[in-house]
Structure 1
């Protein structure tokens, strides 16, 4: 079998409410769907988050063509080594989502060739369902309270809320509202996206801890691991590394510094599913649980991650997903996409060969057209953020 072509389709899928973080907001997410075609008529599916933009992903995919077209897609290690070493893409970063999409499509082809779901190729089922948190948009207190109730009614075990607002009082009010709406049993994970200095983080976390936090995600710069370790030793809530831990080398540094109680790992930012499995293994050796991170994904990348997570023991905590925000998806059937496709915050592992999901052509066409006509609405577009002079940390 040989690869004959790479085909890329950017799509834009709306959210039911804007996603808001410390420096902007977006009305939906953009992904680039990747189809790897072969001379035997099989096509493998992959998906790249539009990080840092769809244009960059598309440019990287074009640059990969001389390295990929003509290669055997079942020799996945060999192919990715060619990309990393001959193509000089071993410096992970903005190139990684495109590479991960191609690697995922090769795994899909391998699963289809041998008639096995990917979970069996990554070690077999350790679990049959994969759990996700309920993403609560950082809105006003009343809206957050209502979303907390929605999460509890949907059977979610953990809610996730962005913090790092201009004033600590606003963060406290939202977390208090979430606790009120979701009830006493709900876990609350807060994410500051590096917005705080160490001193401000210590003050903020201590103010929020009375509401019963499950994890505090990346409250300070991910580039200052000694300060992460300092903060970790002075708060009562476990600290989750995120921006500091997207690659295997980053995770090794987090472990060496004792900078986190749990580690966020990401197949897109580290170039593929095999590296996601390796990341979990590195952290398992250090006795740390891992959480799957997401830059925003649809059903193809989500299914790929679900297979690996299901086959890997130390994904012990709810993972990042966008089901609470998305209005739709681009795969056939009821996998991924909107919240109603989840059961108690969980997705079943697909049991078809390869990824076990296929594209819905009508939806792909619809959301590809939406990308062509309205792409700007699906990037972080807050006018106030665009005209400000933002800096990290915020305080």
Structure 2
């Protein structure tokens, strides 16, 4: 079997409510769907987050064609090494989502050809479903409390909230509302996206500890591991590395620095599903738990990660997913909307390969939305664009 064609389709899918973070907002997400065709008629599906932009993803995919077309989709290790070393793509992190989409589609081809779900190719089922958190949009305290109550109603046990506002009192008020809305038994996770200096991080996290946080994610710069270690030693909440741990090489550095209690791993930021499994192995060897990070994903990328997580023991926290924010999806009944989760969990698809199918009508609808209104889906708002931002904020 040989790869004959790469076909990429950017799509824009709206959120129910805007996603807001420390430096902007967006009303939906953009992904690039990838179909990898073969000379035996099997088509593999992949997905790349639009990181750092759709233009970059599409340019990388065009650059990969001479390295991929004509190759055996079963020889995934060889193919990725060919991309990394012959193509020299391993030097550029922004190329990772496109490479990950090719690798994902190859795994889909292998699973379809073998008649096996991907979970069986990654070690078999350690669990039958994968827990995800409920992404609570950062709004007013009343809006946060309402969203948190919705999370509990839908059976989610973990709520995730962005913090890192210009005024820490706003963060404290929102986290208090999150606890009130979610109830006393819910697990609460906050993410500052590197917005705080070490001293401010310690002060603010100590203020937030009374709300019984499960994890605090990347409170300070991911580029300064001694600062992360400094904060970790002075707080009573486990610290989750994110921007500091996007690749296996980063994760090893975080472990050596003693800079986190839990590691984020992201197959799209580290070039593939095999590397997601490797990240979990690195964390396990260090005695740490790993959490799947997401740059924003639809049902294709979610299904791919679910297969790997289900076959890997040390994903013990709720993983990041966008289902609670998404108003719809591009697949046939997988990925979009909180009602598709069962008590906050995603069942592992049973079908061969990824076990999901693209919905042609939805793909057409959201590819057209991308063509006509893609600018509305970027991380931006007038206030954020006009401000003179710097890291850290405080």
The TM-score, its normalising length taken from structure 1, stands at 0.99
Q: CA deviation at 1:93?
A: 1.2
Distance 2:74 2:105 in 1: 10
2:326 corresponding residue in structure 1: 326
Question: How far is 1:336 from its partner?
Answer: 1.2
Aligned to 2:99: 99
In the TM superposition, what are the counterparts of 1:280-295 in structure 2 within 5 Å?
A: 280-295=280-295
Correspondence list, 1:301-312, <5 A:
301-312=301-312
1:290-336 CA distances to partner (integer Å, 9 max, x unpaired)? 00000000000000000000000000000000111000000112x21
How far apart in 1 are the matches of 2:91 and 2:382? 33
Matching of residues 185-264 of structure 1 within 5 Å? 185-264=185-264
Query: 2:29 maps to what in 1?
Result: 29
Paired with 1:61 and 1:242, the residues of 2 have a C-alpha distance of 26
Work out the CA distance in 1 between the residues paired with 2:313 and 2:199: 35
8 Å CA contact 1:197, 1:220 repeated in 2? yes
Please, which moves more after superposition, 344-353 or 86-95?
Answer: 86-95
- 1:338 — aligned with what? 337
Q: Are residue 374 (structure 1) and residue 361 (structure 2) matched?
A: no
Aligned residue runs from structure 1 range 140-151, under 5 A? 140-151=140-151
Aligned residue for 1:8?
8
SS in 2 for 1:259: coil
The residue number in structure 2 matching 1:394 is: 393
Between Structure 1 and Structure 2, how many residues are aligned? 394
What residue in structure 2 maps to residue 156 of structure 1?
Answer: 156
Counting only pairs closer than 5 Å after superposition, residues 83-162 of structure 1 correspond to structure 2 as 83-162=83-162
Q: CA deviation at 1:91?
A: 2.1
- Contact 1:96/1:270 (<8 A) preserved: yes
Name the SS of the counterpart of 2:160 in structure 1.
strand
Aligned partner of 1:43 in structure 2 is 43
- Cα distance in 2 for partners of 1:56, 1:90 equals 15
The correspondence of residues 158-197 of structure 1 with structure 2, limited to 5 A, is 158-197=158-197
Residue in structure 2 matched with residue 357 of structure 1 by the alignment: 356
- Distance in 1 (CA, whole Å) between partners of 2:384 and 2:171 is 18
**What's the offset of the Cα at 1:386?**
1.1
Q: CA deviation at 1:347?
A: 0.5
Indicate the SS of the match to 1:9: strand
Encode CA deviations 1:139-158: one digit per residue, 9 max, x unaligned: 00000010111011111111
SS at match of 2:33: strand
| Structure 1 residues not aligned, in runs of 5+ | none
Q: Is the 8 A contact 1:293 1:320 kept in 2?
A: yes
Maintained 8 Å contact 1:152/1:182: yes
The alpha carbon displacement at 1:92 in A equals 4.7
C-alpha contact 1:215 1:240 (8 A) present in aligned 2: yes
SS at match of 1:256: helix
Match for residue 80 of structure 2? 80
Residue 173 of structure 1 aligns to a residue in which SS?
helix
**Aligned-CA RMSD value:** 0.6
TM-superposition CA deviations, 1:248-296 (whole Å, max 9, x none): 0000000000100000000000000000000000000000000000000
Number of the residue aligned with 1:347? 346
For residues 37-81 of structure 1, the C-alpha deviation after alignment (integer angstroms, 9 at most, x for no partner) is: 001011000000000111110000000000001111110001000
Q: Is the 8 A contact 1:92 1:271 kept in 2?
A: no
Q: State the distance in 1 between where 2:7 and 2:352 align.
A: 21
Q: CA deviation at 1:389?
A: 1.7
Shift of 1:20: 0.2
Shift of 1:381: 2.0
Aligned to 1:296, what secondary structure does the other structure show?
coil
SS in 2 for 1:234: coil
Give the 3-state SS of the residue equivalent to 2:90 in structure 1: coil
Q: Deviations over 1:339-386 (max 9, x none)?
A: 110011001000100000010000000000000000001011211111
Deviation for aligned residue 1:233: 0.8
CA contact (8 A) 1:290 1:314 kept: yes
